[in-house]
Chains A and B, each alone.
Chain A
Amino acid sequence: MKYKLEAKNIDVFYGKLKALNNINIGITENAVTGLIGPSGCGKSTFLRLFNRMNDYIDSFKLNGDIYIDNTNIYDKSVLVDELRKNVGMVFQKPNPFPKSIFDNVAYGLKIQGINDKAFIKTRVKDALKQAALWEEVKDDLGKSALALSGGQQQRVCIARALAVEPSIILMDEPTSALDPIATAKVEKLILTLKEKYTIIIVTHNMQQAGRISDYTAFFYMGDLIEFDKTDTIFTNPKMERTENYITGRFG
Chain B
Amino acid sequence: MNTIEKEISNLKSSLLKMFFLVEGQWEKGANAIINYDQDIAEEISSSENRINAQELKIDNDCENIIALHAPVAVDLRFILSTYKINHALEHIADIAESIAKYVSDYNIAYDKKIVDEIRLTEMLDVFNTMMDCLIEAFENEDPSIARRVFKKDKLINKINTDAHQIIINNIDKYDKNMLLYLLSSIRKIERAGDSLKKIGEEIIYHLEAKVIKHSKK
Give A contacts to B, CB under 8 Å.
206-207, 210, 234-237, 242-243, 246-249
Using A206-B70, A207-B70, A236-B209 as known contacts, say yes or no to A247 and B75 having CB atoms under 8 A apart.
Answer: yes
**Contact across chains for B2 and A243 when beta carbons are under 8 A apart:** no
Using A235-B209, A236-B209 as known contacts, say yes or no to A246 and B70 having CB atoms under 8 A apart.
Answer: no
**Contact across chains for A247 and B4 when beta carbons are under 8 A apart:** yes
Cβ-neighbour of B5 out of A206, A236, A249 (below 8 A): A249
Cβ-neighbour of B2 out of A206, A207, A235, A249 (below 8 A): A249
Using A236-B209, A249-B5 as known contacts, say yes or no to A243 and B74 having CB atoms under 8 A apart.
Answer: yes
Question: Whole-angstrom distance between the alpha carbons of A235 and B4 in the complex?
Answer: 16
B77 at interface (Cβ–Cβ under 8 A)?
Answer: yes
Question: Whole-angstrom distance between the alpha carbons of A236 and B77 in the complex?
Answer: 9
- Known pairs A206-B72, A248-B2; list 5 more (Cβ under 8 Å): A234-B73, A237-B73, A247-B72, A247-B73, A249-B2
**Contact across chains for B2 and A234 when beta carbons are under 8 A apart:** no
**Contact across chains for B4 and A248 when beta carbons are under 8 A apart:** yes
Q: Report the nearest B residue to A236, measured CB to CB.
A: B209
CB contacts (< 8 Å) of B2 on chain A: these are 248-249
Question: Whole-angstrom distance between the alpha carbons of A234 and B70 in the complex?
Answer: 11
Which 3 A-B pairs give the minimum distances between C-beta atoms? A236-B209, A234-B72, A243-B73
B71 at interface (Cβ–Cβ under 8 A)?
Answer: yes
| Least distance between B7 CB and chain A CB atoms (Å) | 11
Q: Report the nearest A residue to B209, measured CB to CB.
A: A236
B109 at interface (Cβ–Cβ under 8 A)?
Answer: no
B76 at interface (Cβ–Cβ under 8 A)?
Answer: yes
Q: Report the nearest A residue to B76, measured CB to CB.
A: A235
| Least distance between A248 CB and chain B CB atoms (Å) | 5
Question: Whole-angstrom distance between the alpha carbons of A207 and B209 in the complex?
Answer: 20
Query: In which size bucket is the chain B interface?
Result: 10 to 19
Q: Report the nearest A residue to B8, measured CB to CB.
A: A247
Question: Whole-angstrom distance between the alpha carbons of A243 and B77 in the complex?
Answer: 12
Cβ-neighbour of A246 out of B5, B72, B77 (below 8 A): B72
CB contacts (< 8 Å) of B209 on chain A: these are 235-236
Q: Report the nearest B residue to A246, measured CB to CB.
A: B72
CB contacts (< 8 Å) of B74 on chain A: these are 243, 247
Question: Whole-angstrom distance between the alpha carbons of A210 and B70 in the complex?
Answer: 11
Question: Whole-angstrom distance between the alpha carbons of A183 and B77 in the complex?
Answer: 27
| Least distance between A171 CB and chain B CB atoms (Å) | 21
Question: Whole-angstrom distance between the alpha carbons of A242 and B74 in the complex?
Answer: 11
Q: Report the nearest B residue to A238, measured CB to CB.
A: B209
| Least distance between A207 CB and chain B CB atoms (Å) | 5
Question: Whole-angstrom distance between the alpha carbons of A157 and B10 in the complex?
Answer: 46
Question: Whole-angstrom distance between the alpha carbons of A249 and B72 in the complex?
Answer: 12
Q: Report the nearest A residue to B71, measured CB to CB.
A: A247
Cβ-neighbour of B77 out of A210, A235, A249 (below 8 A): A235
**Contact across chains for B5 and A235 when beta carbons are under 8 A apart:** no
CB contacts (< 8 Å) of A248 on chain B: these are 2, 4
Question: Whole-angstrom distance between the alpha carbons of A210 and B73 in the complex?
Answer: 11
**Contact across chains for B5 and A210 when beta carbons are under 8 A apart:** no
**Contact across chains for A236 and B72 when beta carbons are under 8 A apart:** no
Query: Please, what's the 1-or-0 string for B1-17, where 1 marks a CB less than 8 Å from any CB in chain A?
Result: 01011000000000000
Question: Whole-angstrom distance between the alpha carbons of A242 and B209 in the complex?
Answer: 15
User: Which of B70, B73, B74: most chain A CB closer than 10 A?
Assistant: B73
CB contacts (< 8 Å) of B75 on chain A: these are 247
Question: Whole-angstrom distance between the alpha carbons of A247 and B7 in the complex?
Answer: 13
Question: Whole-angstrom distance between the alpha carbons of A206 and B77 in the complex?
Answer: 17
CB contacts (< 8 Å) of B72 on chain A: these are 206, 210, 234-235, 246-247
| Least distance between B148 CB and chain A CB atoms (Å) | 24
Query: Please, what's the 1-or-0 string for B49-90, where 1 marks a CB less than 8 Å from any CB in chain A?
Result: 000000000000000000000111111110000000000000
Question: Whole-angstrom distance between the alpha carbons of A246 and B76 in the complex?
Answer: 11
| Least distance between B3 CB and chain A CB atoms (Å) | 8
CB contacts (< 8 Å) of A236 on chain B: these are 73, 77, 209
| Least distance between B9 CB and chain A CB atoms (Å) | 13
